[in-house]
Structure formats: structure tokens, C-alpha cells
Amino acid sequence: MPKFPNTRMRRTRSSPWVRNLVRQTQLTPHDLIWPIFVHEGDEAEDIPAMPGVQRLPLGQLAATAKRAHSLGIPAIALFPNTPANKKDSQGTEATNPDNLVCRAIATIKSACPELGVMADVALDPFTNTGHDGIVVNGKIDNDITLEQLVAQALVQTGAGCDILAPSDMMDGRIGRIRHALEQAGHVDMLLMAYSAKYASSFYGPFRDAVGSSGALHGDKKTYQMDPANSDEALAEIALDIDEGADMVMVKPGMAYLDIVQRVKQQFVIPTFAYQVSGEYAMIQAAAANGWLDGDAVMLESLLAFKRAGCDGVLSYFAPRVAEILG
Ligand code: PBG
């Protein structure tokens, strides 16, 4: 590049029109997946560490789905808060075709069939251990868990789910779920794999929201990834693509955008990241104190996901962002 004054980097920043002209990255409502918490109650319930986010009753889902669709948000992701009396060591409730998440899926698909509905495949909202897998003799048993995950995937498919998102981090789950779906004739079911999911402390507020934090014994380090590792993320992504994932995800988001960039450079597959509950909480807390401009930081953070290479982002800010961009 020629030296100053032949090059003056400020020329292309000198007015709004030229900045618009040279801008490389755009954020639109179509980039967003909106995570939504549901519970068995009749009223919406606040989640203290996630100001502005509520656990919704089934009765409010139709209106919420229509709102998402009218804002141009392509899909929502559902997370059930399962009452403690329905949890057991095997996460049996996960495979009940009439469980809360299945009823939520069906409610939304009938109210707003145009909206994509995604649901996690993982046992943690349903186990009394708070773990994503089944504990046998004090350890998470990978292969026994796979059977239960396949059953869960099939009931959610039956309820009308559009995207199954295995978030459990068991080995081999994408392949087993894909095989079961093909066998059952669900050849178009989308799988978004939480492929590079780290054992992160940024999930704290989410675990309160779904009621799994009180239940959780120990940590998730034997299945979720070590935050120190990067190459391992690429191995996880490669395996999930090979096993039949249509889309992959990196999680958490802001502190892991280096992983997104490596994934996007190495693989040709739609790539997502999850701006998780703790990231949302940090921005909202600072904004509530007047320490940051909340909307500006929200938009900047999501633009950064796109710049790093994300095709889309899961974010609790989705409706607010879509409102501003719309
Ligand atoms: C459960 C799951 C978690 C999140 C999404 N799915 C938490 C966990 O693994 O403990 C976190 C989302 C967030 O923090 O917003 N498998």
C-alpha cells in the first residue's frame, strides 16, 4: 500500500455515504435466532439476572411467535423450565411427547407456521443432576445418553420442530440422531450442532432461567470443552459435519469469536454463535447503571459476530435489535 499522503485512510471514512459504500458487514433481522424460555405457569415471570427476558407461559407463545415473524426474525429457540417434580436421573420427561417443550413447539407451529422453531436436544432441563447426560456410577455415560437423546429428538420432531439443536456435547450424537431421523423418514429435518460448546461460566443466568442451576452437581468439564482449546473446536466441527450436521455453532460468543473465524476459514457450512445469557447480563447490567449505551453496545457486539464470520447469531437481544434495524 502506498505511503502517506498517497494513502490517507480517513478518505473513506470522511462522510456517511462513503462509509455506507465501503462497509463490509451488515447486520439484519434475518441474522437472528431468538431464544425463548417457557414455563408451566399462567403468567410471564421475570428472570432476575436477565433484565428484559421472561419465562413465558404457553398462552403467550402464539403472540410472541407472530411478533418474531413480523420483525423479520427467521427462527426462535425454545428452552423449557421443567418443574422439579418432573425431573429424574434419566431425564425421562425429555422423551414425553406431551412435555412442555413439545406443547410449545406445537403451539407456535400452529399459530405461525412461517416461523422456524428450534429446540435443544440435551437432558439438563430434565435431569435431577442438572447434567446433559445420564450419570452412571458418578460419571456421565456417553452411550446410554445417546439412546435417550435420540428418543428426545424424535418426540420433538413429532411435535413439529424445524431445527434440532443437540447441545449436550456427547460423542457421536449427531450421527445417531441423523440416522434415526432418516430411518423414520424425516429426511428434511435440520440439525444445528452445538459443536464447539465450551464449559463456560457465562451460562450462569441461563441455568437459573431453566431451573437447572440448583440441581447441577459438579461441573460440565467432562463433556463441554476447555476454554483454553482452539484446535479441538475444529475437530468437533469436522466430526459433526461428517455425522450429518447442516449447521454448526460456537458457544459462548463474544469471548470465542476467534473460534468462529477459524471455523469459517476451514469449513464450508453455515456457522452460528450463541451470545449467551452471561453476555446479555453483562451488557444489560452496565446499561442499567448508565455505564454503557446499551443499544449501541448490543448492535456493535452483534456486528462483531457477523464480521468474525457468523451466518447468524442466537441472541436474547433479537427482538430489540430487529425493532431498531426494522
Ligand atoms: C443446555 C444449554 C445451556 C445453554 C444452552 N443450552 C447451558 C449449559 O450447557 O449449561 C446456555 C445458554 C445461555 O447461557 O444463554 N445444554
For residues 57-65, give the mean pLDDT: 98
What CATH number has the domain bearing residue 293?
A: 3.20.20.70
Residue 63 lies in a domain: yes
Number of domains in the chain: 1
pLDDT in tens, 91-107: 999 999 999 999 999 99
Residue 8 lies in a domain: no
Judge contact between 209 and 47, C-beta under 8 A.
yes
Active site residues: 197, 251
Residue 52 lies in a domain: yes
Query: Three-state DSSP class for 262?
Result: helix
CA-CA distance, 159 to 107, in Å (whole number)? 9
Judge contact between 78 and 38, C-beta under 8 A.
yes
CA-CA distance, 52 to 195, in Å (whole number)? 28
CA-CA distance, 167 to 206, in Å (whole number)? 13
For the purposes of burial, counting CB atoms within 10 Å of the CB of 169, is it exposed (0-12), middle (13-18) or buried (19 or more)? buried
Q: Residue 166: which domain range?
A: 26-325
Residue 16 lies in a domain: no
pLDDT in tens, 196-215: 999 999 999 999 888 877 77
**Prediction pTM value:** 0.97
CA of 210 to the centre of ligand 1 (A): 9
CA of 107 to the centre of ligand 1 (A): 23
| Residue 203 near ligand 1, beta carbon < 6 Å | yes
For residues 38-49, give the mean pLDDT: 96
CA-CA distance, 261 to 319, in Å (whole number)? 26
CA of 17 to the centre of ligand 1 (A): 41
Best mutation site among 34, 131, 203, 224 for ligand 1 pocket (most ligand atoms within 8 Å of CB): 203
HEC secondary structure over 276-301 = CHHHHHHHHHHHHCCCCCHHHHHHHH
DSSP state at residue 226: P
CA of 248 to the centre of ligand 1 (A): 15
Residue 277 CA: which ligand 1 atom is closest? 15
Residue 6 lies in a domain: no
3-state helix, strand, coil in the chain (%, to 5): 45, 20, 35
CA-CA distance, 99 to 93, in Å (whole number)? 7
Residue 14 lies in a domain: no
pLDDT in tens, 146-201: 999 999 999 999 999 999 999 999 999 999 999 999 999 999 999 999 999 999 99
Residue 13 lies in a domain: no
**Residue 148 has what pLDDT?**
98
Best mutation site among 38, 101, 124, 131 for ligand 1 pocket (most ligand atoms within 8 Å of CB): 124
Long-range own/partner contacts, residues 231-235 (CB < 8 A, 24 or more apart) = 232/196, 233/195, 233/196, 233/259, 233/262, 233/263, 234/262, 234/263, 234/266
For the purposes of burial, counting CB atoms within 10 Å of the CB of 251, is it exposed (0-12), middle (13-18) or buried (19 or more)? buried
Write the residue with the smallest CA distance to atom 14 of ligand 1: 203
pLDDT in tens, 66-87: 999 999 999 999 999 999 999 9
**Residue 216 has what pLDDT?**
87
Residue 205 CA: which ligand 1 atom is closest? 14
Residue 132 CA: which ligand 1 atom is closest? 16
CA-CA distance, 43 to 32, in Å (whole number)? 26
Write the residue with the smallest CA distance to atom 8 of ligand 1: 203
pLDDT in tens, 235-260: 999 999 999 999 999 999 999 999 99
Residue 2 lies in a domain: no
Question: Which triple of cell numbers denotes residue 53?
Answer: 427476558
CA-CA distance, 320 to 326, in Å (whole number)? 10
Residues 6+ apart with CB under 8 A from 292: 283, 286
